[in-house]
Structure 1
């Protein structure tokens, strides 16, 4: 089925769903808005809201926002409270099928407390999914990254694989894993390619992201085909009442612009996001011994401008939340990339290009808040890709055009029950992937996937006044592929939290995981150089982790040891007939230690924040072969250290970040390597709050690669030298300011 053919059933399905929802909509209203600090306009997370005379109570989220659907039309009294702020009461009137939005502005009020000792936990024991590192939207808006891969690298959570060019694919690895072993989810839906296995994070617009969760070990409910961990991307939801415009530009002609608009019409919250990126593909680089092929015609140390690739990418996302439990969404990404090869004239120059079109339609439904809460997800995705390579009339046999089409259909049902620390998730689903490509042996490959999981978290020893809290989180997941391959993997973890003035936590866990061979590895059409191997076995692993954290007076330090054994690793190797073929050759052990220190000094608008993380890791080959056994796996650095400093001076922010990466070997025998590198980035942000904080203007200047260092992520792909970026943003709140009087 082509992309054009898919549009008809998707549009019909959307029309039917919206008609059904509208027909069954009840006479209800929606109360929504956000709670902010009256003086600064900053959100107040955790504020408590109560509708007097009703059982309705809720708490504002991390961004200060709240939403309460299902209220009957009429007049109500709303009470809003927050520790350290004056209580607010307001009379509100709600109409049928109307979404009433308001902004609650609370004024500070000192609270006199008796002498007491407060027990504080540095991390929640058995929280949503224990063991996650979370990047919030506040960080996204402050850092303004080019893409999510760049942000994960800056935060010290992942290593990037990229050809260095604007518009190129950006994949990541966690703790020494391969990029294809990391499961990337967008609102619970996998983004990993069926053909190649890895997920391209450049396809995701940072403008639509609410937060990013990074799990070095996969929770049962998120997926077990994740030897290298899980990156779970949660996007913004309808109910956002604001308009945001953001633009960025670099000195080498790379430009980005994004518009985010959240509003509601007749009780139907709508969220729309559009992003455009383009580049002329030129940037400066300096020749080094790591360049490899450039040394045929260039001198080490020479600075050149590379016309690597020009591209244009457009991204559209729409979400609609009609009355009732159903939410529908649509996403589409168009990419056109012209990437001529940069090889010297003396070698085989060629021209190349890529056209990529991806679109997705999905539906989500959730039940009530009490007891067992049901959830349902339905999704359909279609994509098409055309690539071409032209070596000119001198080498017509090397010219090539490739067409690829794919479809993915998925359905998942889950039931969740939560009370206090107790959290139980039970779910099942199915996913069907199909791929058409002339590169595959039969021109087609398909895979059907059924799964089920049970996840239990909580404190079985919960009691009032206990000095220690115990978090037990466990799960088991079963996966069945095409009715033939079955996998069952458990996960078990325990966390103990205690302390009073000095809070601490200990956490340990163990889990199994696997990764299926990609369609390309299984069914690659035999040619002059390579062929697939349908007899490949899945890669398997056993992951273990032990972590400790201590928190005291705004500072937190942590130490994590990890160990991962992987067997049946898939590796492309020359076979007896001198063709590259994927084989289950490798066995590896990846172990290491992560240390972190984060803290904040100062209060109010004058404060500073600092974070440093360092990872020592050994990814050892255990194949038993004489030339490679005991050697370090390619492209796995022994040490990676990141530093982030931020000084806030009222409306002015100064930030400085650094990444230090050690030597990375580029072959199995460890005889060739990429040089270590250190890269510093610096930024200055000025924020203007207008109209009592409901309008915000942000200006930012940034210098990337501050000290003009030449470095490589992969062989023969230099990254840009010093590069200047400027950005501007405008945010306008569309909420009614109903509670602003002191």
Structure 2
């Protein structure tokens, strides 16, 4: 079947209080994997394999200068290498793919002269791709953004309005390969005095999404390949809704939101010749729907139950449903905690999803359930955590991508140590 999979992962984090009001955090991670690439049903490959190596490091420093000024600085580096080998095709494939990313981000938070808080951010990132079948390409991304909060107190009024907060924001991105673009956004929240903790809120804005390096240059294997001819995705976005929170013997929270988005040149991965997936620009597309969320918990947080439901209509300019966008999706969770031991049940149900552009074929709905346990404690000045998890506990057979069955029941165990 050529579905063997081996993976090792090493993760480390070190926190240092280098100054009284500052925190320095070092994070490192390395990953190695070796997996068979069986290909889609009906086009199986018994010898293709993919090897991956990844190493990353990140430094975060945050400091509170005064009660009105703070900042956060992040510097990161990531090195990823892939080697794909397939002797089963018409031609031998032996490709390597190397991606290096280096970036820095700075964010300042201010609340001066008694006014509402505002945030300013800057970032710089460079990505280099070196591939045997693509050659060498790079991208430099420079970004800046600012967000403000403008608040007015409601005072005494017949509708019980406690206050209004407006959130204007703007972001500018400059891509070396896709040019300069500005994305504005405006949000508003109306807070009421009532016993439900009612908040009415809404957002409107525009966004610009350049194709990711994976979209453009994904190394071709049995499953997929990138598309270097993609255009950027642009969208206009709108949402409106309300949330509430009430403390009874139990804490009850919930929210309802309606959203609508219009996309130009939306990027969508879809199957091409031979069933191989590649991203394409759809043209004009629209999504709209309703999201419902609710949560109930005890006042001490030891028992928490929650659920969410999404109704989604996602269509292109010809009225066809976008690929893999279910009309109905549902999730739930239940957490129980006591004296360093916590138990969590969760699950999700996903409706029918079309996997052909013409909407002539679809994947059947599925429902899966997971369970996890976590034990935390301290021994000999070392904090430890033991995490056990069983996914798909009823061993349901399902597919998220057509012709690529997912594993059944899965077990995992993780141990964390903190000195």
TM-score normalised according to structure 2 size: 0.81
Q: 2:266 aligns with which of 559, 563, 569?
A: 569
Q: 1:659 aligns with which of 345, 348, 352?
A: 348
Q: 2:187 aligns with which of 483, 493, 502?
A: 493
5+ long unaligned stretches in structure 2: none
- 1:213-612 pair list within 5 angstroms: 308-319=3-14, 321=16, 323-324=18-19, 327=24, 329-341=26-38, 348-362=45-59, 364=61, 366=63, 368-379=65-76, 381-391=77-87, 397-418=90-111, 422-440=116-134, 443-461=135-153, 468-482=162-176, 485-519=179-213, 532=227, 534=229, 536-552=230-246, 553=248, 554-570=251-267, 584-601=281-298, 608-612=303-307
Alpha-carbon contact 1:384-1:403 (below 8 Å) kept: no
How far did 1:621 drift? 1.3
Q: How many residues align?
A: 405
- Structure 1: how far apart are the matches of 2:331 and 2:346? 7
C-alpha change, 1:462 and 1:317, in structure 2 (3 Å) is farther
How far did 1:564 drift? 0.9
Alpha-carbon contact 2:80-2:100 (below 8 Å) kept: no
C-alpha change, 1:556 and 1:405, in structure 2 (3 Å) is same
- Structure 1: how far apart are the matches of 2:218 and 2:5? 29
Give 1:117's aligned residue.
none
Say which structure is richer in strand.
2
> Is structure 2 residue 334 aligned with structure 1 residue 645?
yes
SS at match of 2:29: strand
* 1:163-189 deviations in Å (ceiling 9; x for gaps): xxxxxxxxxxxxxxxxxxxxxxxxxxx
- Structure 1: how far apart are the matches of 2:376 and 2:119? 44
Larger Rg: 1
- 1:675-694 pair list within 5 angstroms: 675-683=364-372
Say which structure is richer in helix.
1
Give 2:392's aligned residue.
705
- Structure 2: how far apart are the matches of 1:438 and 1:697? 44
How far did 1:453 drift? 1.8
Of structures 1 and 2, the one with the larger relative CO (CA 8 A, separation 6+) is 1
Give 1:674's aligned residue.
363
Alpha-carbon contact 1:477-1:489 (below 8 Å) kept: yes
How far did 1:467 drift? 5.3
How far did 1:373 drift? 3.5
Alpha-carbon contact 1:364-1:375 (below 8 Å) kept: yes
SS at match of 1:631: coil
How far did 1:651 drift? 7.2
5+ long unaligned stretches in structure 1: 1-305, 623-628, 735-742
SS at match of 1:630: coil
How far did 1:597 drift? 1.9
RMSD of aligned residue pairs (Cα, Å):
4.0
How far did 1:533 drift? 5.0
Give 1:286's aligned residue.
none
How far did 1:317 drift? 3.0
- Structure 1: how far apart are the matches of 2:197 and 2:137? 53
SS at match of 2:320: coil
TM-score normalised according to structure 1 size: 0.48
